[in-house]
Chain A
Amino acid sequence: MSETTNIYSSLYQQSIEKYGASDPGFISKLREDALNLLTKNGFPGKKDEQYKYSFLEPYFSNGYNRYLAPKPISFDVNHLFRCDVPALDTQVIILLNGFYFDKANPLKTLAGGIIVGSFKEAVKKHPDLVEKYLGKCANSTDSYVALNTALAHDGIFLYVPKGKLLEKPIQIINVLLSDEDLMVQHRNLFILEENSQAKVIVCDHTLSPVKFLTNSVNEIFVGENACFDYFKVQNEHNESVQVSHSFINQEKASNCRSTTITLHGGVVRNNLTVKLNGEGCENYAYGLFVSDENQKVDNALFIDHAKPNCHSSQLFKAILDDSSSGAFTGKILVERDAQKTLAYQRNSSILMTDNAKMNSKPQLEIYADDVKCSHGATVGQLDEEALFYLRSRGITESEARLMLMYAFAFEILNEIKIEPLKDRMSELIEKRLRGELSRCNNCEMHCS
């Protein structure tokens, strides 16, 4: 057992003492198995293929404070937070340091029996529902996922029953606020039954100039013919480290889109694992990051085509400035039964300086014989010809560069299907490219 895993073993013991009696049996079992996996495997080392470009163990062994229950912090949401996308009509819920903030209403039932609220509360109130899904999707042997399973106590729970439609998108604000260095883990569980629809928007905000470490897991179940749209903007400050995992399980004829835009953050690692577990599924995954200084952003995808006639498409783009570095690993697995698969993957990056670095590794593994798959990766500079074309019309070089970078990013922005959000993101990206802080203007939260 390594020193790092020791930290978490003892935290786990505290967790058992505190919650062991009240946790339902299936949760205790999941946690115990996860901890065993973690202590057996340890954290991914420098040579681990999955984490080749993100050696994160040092962060996890560092002196962050770790809490099993929310620390009392005075936080006036109305004073501090007004979402700055005014036209964005959403239902806002807040996670403060990984714990559900609205203690007065930990779990709400909306029209049509839709349930949304605290994961912790859902475990108490709807153990059957949670048991049916929890850990079924996030069943990987990834040590960070195991760590989350063993020790995450709260997060967001969303349940959309058969045939129901969530009218307004749910907007989850991950607020990090602390006077000491803090590690945060939360667990989100999204369940969409047959024929249901939902949209979720996630915004990350860091409000204190201390170091934050986040290790989060999303489990997303998209039932037969259901439709799910997931949008995440990562806007933590550059002293923060974030590992996020999204597991998506899709049933027959379901449709899922996910978009992750990374504006700020010191070290960011995003894992996306998709299983197309029924015929005729569609999955679209988009990602964009803009990095500078010494930021590190690493996106890893695994798309499993398990059934025939599914369509998946991944487009990930990056603009890297200064000494920032990035990585992309995208694996598409087409299983033997998955005939007539359509799978496309593209990763394009622009390096603005000689010191910026990008590692890109698209992979295809195909066991079916009647499929159409393609993948590609490009890493390059801005198109000099295009730059000259703009300058030859009287546009200054810096402005011309900006226009081209923005145009490059636009391909992703254009895929955001919620109009006010698309407009706002376009503005934020433009500001980011201009080197201005891209925090939201009307919001008191000083995210960057």
Chain B
Amino acid sequence: MLIIKDLKASINNKEILKGINLKVNAGEVHAIMGPNGSGKSTLASVLTGREYVEVTHGKVSYFGEDLLEMIPEDRARKGIFLSFQYPIEIPGVSMVNFMKTALNEHRKFNGLAPLSASDFLKVMRDKKNLVEIDSNLTNRAVNEGFSGGEKKKNEIFQMALLEPKLAILDETDSGLDIDALRIVANGVNKLRTKENATIVITHYQRLLDHIVPDFVHVLMDGRIVKSGTKELAYQLEEKGYDWIKKEVYPELNGNEVL
């Protein structure tokens, strides 16, 4: 589905990603872990097409197409979804209008007729139950005045509506209490199929108890320095990142130079 080859990217001429290689197949869940500033969110930004990140080298192919050539809205319509680390508040735009517009743009792209208002509300009701989102949240403006947990639930709700092929969850667990975390994780799990894939970006192993990954990658200083199974996540939780640093850069002798 997704093949990233030797991807390098900079922000304001500072190189953040220094050669990423990653292959994601349908049906898989990949976790990307790593310390602050290692480039996790930048990777998500490159995949969704943020303009401030400049790709300097490498290729990303998505279902055989050059992903980097696509504008953000086309990526979304072709099935890429980002659950934002910090969902944006948009006063004055109602959730209903926002999601109806988005869903109908997806349908148009796939050659389907737009949903009528009543059909849309029906779809929305079904998906709301799926992710256990409070029904009055959808009557409000996009994320306006939502609590941290509500915002994250709202991301998963949007994901449920748009049914992406590749979902990227950027620190979806940050700031969530255990109940909200469980709801969010349940939502994600219910949406998993053999046809879609998920990339979970996180700091903590906690989320991975609920969304069990097939692969865990450690991102450090702009490179994936270690890959493994979910066991790797437990090791990281237990020992932190330093031991990997020593393993990967033995010449540093554990000193912070990165």
Residues of A within 8 A of B (CB): 383, 385-386, 388-397, 399, 403-404, 406-411
In Å, the complex CA distance between A395 and B75 comes to 11
Apart from A386-B88, A389-B87, A399-B101, 9 more pairs, CB < 8 Å:
A388-B51, A392-B76, A392-B84, A394-B109, A394-B162, A395-B101, A396-B73, A396-B105, A411-B91
When distances are taken between beta carbons in the complex, the residues of chain B under 8 Å from A406 are 92-93
The verdict on B97 contacting chain A, using a C-beta distance below 8 Å, is yes
When distances are taken between beta carbons in the complex, the residues of chain B under 8 Å from A390 are 90, 93, 98, 102
Looking at the assembled complex, report how far the CB atom of B97 sits from the nearest CB atom of chain A, in whole angstroms.
7
B92 engages A393 (CB within 8 Å):
no
Q: A403-B93, A404-B93 are in contact. Are A394 and B88 (CB under 8 A)?
A: no
When distances are taken between beta carbons in the complex, the residues of chain B under 8 Å from A393 are 76, 81, 98-99, 102, 158, 162
Q: A388-B50, A403-B97 are in contact. Are A394 and B90 (CB under 8 A)?
A: no
When distances are taken between beta carbons in the complex, the residues of chain A under 8 Å from B82 are 392
The verdict on B217 contacting chain A, using a C-beta distance below 8 Å, is no
Q: Out of A388, A396, A399, A407, name the residue touching B92 (CB < 8 Å).
A: A407
Q: Out of A394, A408, A409, name the residue touching B106 (CB < 8 Å).
A: A394
The verdict on B40 contacting chain A, using a C-beta distance below 8 Å, is no
In Å, the complex CA distance between A394 and B71 comes to 10
Counting from the closest, the 5 A-B pairs by CB-CB distance are A407-B92, A394-B76, A410-B92, A393-B102, A389-B88
26 A-B interface contacts by CB (under 8 A): A383-B88, A383-B90, A385-B88, A388-B50, A388-B51, A389-B84, A389-B87, A389-B88, A389-B142, A393-B76, A393-B81, A393-B98, A393-B99, A393-B102, A394-B102, A395-B73, A395-B101, A395-B105, A399-B101, A403-B93, A403-B101, A404-B90, A407-B91, A407-B92, A407-B93, A408-B92
The verdict on B77 contacting chain A, using a C-beta distance below 8 Å, is yes
The verdict on B48 contacting chain A, using a C-beta distance below 8 Å, is yes
Looking at the assembled complex, report how far the CB atom of B11 sits from the nearest CB atom of chain A, in whole angstroms.
14
Residue of B nearest to A408 (CB): B92
**From B51, B87, B90, B158, residue with most partner A Cβ within 10 Å:** B90
Contact with A along B61-86 (1 / 0, CB 8 A): 00000000001110111000110100
In Å, the complex CA distance between A408 and B141 comes to 12
When distances are taken between beta carbons in the complex, the residues of chain A under 8 Å from B105 are 394-396, 399
When distances are taken between beta carbons in the complex, the residues of chain A under 8 Å from B88 are 383, 385-386, 389
B102 engages A386 (CB within 8 Å):
no
When distances are taken between beta carbons in the complex, the residues of chain A under 8 Å from B73 are 391-392, 394-397
Q: A391-B76, A393-B162 are in contact. Are A411 and B92 (CB under 8 A)?
A: yes
Looking at the assembled complex, report how far the CB atom of B32 sits from the nearest CB atom of chain A, in whole angstroms.
19
In Å, the complex CA distance between A150 and B101 comes to 55
In Å, the complex CA distance between A385 and B158 comes to 17
Residue of A nearest to B107 (CB): A394
**From B73, B75, B99, residue with most partner A Cβ within 10 Å:** B73
When distances are taken between beta carbons in the complex, the residues of chain B under 8 Å from A396 are 73, 105
Residue of A nearest to B88 (CB): A389
Residue of B nearest to A400 (CB): B73
Looking at the assembled complex, report how far the CB atom of B219 sits from the nearest CB atom of chain A, in whole angstroms.
21
In Å, the complex CA distance between A218 and B112 comes to 54
Q: A394-B77, A395-B105 are in contact. Are A388 and B93 (CB under 8 A)?
A: no
When distances are taken between beta carbons in the complex, the residues of chain B under 8 Å from A407 are 90-93, 141
In Å, the complex CA distance between A157 and B91 comes to 40
Residue of B nearest to A389 (CB): B88
Residue of A nearest to B144 (CB): A407
Residue of B nearest to A405 (CB): B92
Give B100-155 interface residues, CB cut-off 8 Å to A: 101-102, 105-106, 109, 141-142
Q: Out of A389, A399, A411, name the residue touching B90 (CB < 8 Å).
A: A389
When distances are taken between beta carbons in the complex, the residues of chain A under 8 Å from B101 are 395, 399, 403
When distances are taken between beta carbons in the complex, the residues of chain B under 8 Å from A408 are 92
When distances are taken between beta carbons in the complex, the residues of chain B under 8 Å from A397 are 71, 73
Q: A385-B88, A399-B101 are in contact. Are A391 and B93 (CB under 8 A)?
A: no
When distances are taken between beta carbons in the complex, the residues of chain A under 8 Å from B141 are 407
A392 engages B92 (CB within 8 Å):
no
Looking at the assembled complex, report how far the CB atom of A87 sits from the nearest CB atom of chain B, in whole angstroms.
20
When distances are taken between beta carbons in the complex, the residues of chain A under 8 Å from B162 are 393-394
When distances are taken between beta carbons in the complex, the residues of chain A under 8 Å from B77 are 394
When distances are taken between beta carbons in the complex, the residues of chain A under 8 Å from B93 are 390, 403-404, 406-407
**From A394, A407, A411, residue with most partner B Cβ within 10 Å:** A394
Residue of B nearest to A409 (CB): B92
Looking at the assembled complex, report how far the CB atom of B107 sits from the nearest CB atom of chain A, in whole angstroms.
10
When distances are taken between beta carbons in the complex, the residues of chain A under 8 Å from B76 are 391-394
Residue of A nearest to B161 (CB): A393
In Å, the complex CA distance between A189 and B162 comes to 57
**From B81, B88, B109, residue with most partner A Cβ within 10 Å:** B88
When distances are taken between beta carbons in the complex, the residues of chain B under 8 Å from A399 are 101, 105
Looking at the assembled complex, report how far the CB atom of B145 sits from the nearest CB atom of chain A, in whole angstroms.
14
When distances are taken between beta carbons in the complex, the residues of chain A under 8 Å from B49 are 392
**From B71, B87, B92, residue with most partner A Cβ within 10 Å:** B92
When distances are taken between beta carbons in the complex, the residues of chain A under 8 Å from B84 are 389, 392
In Å, the complex CA distance between A406 and B82 comes to 25
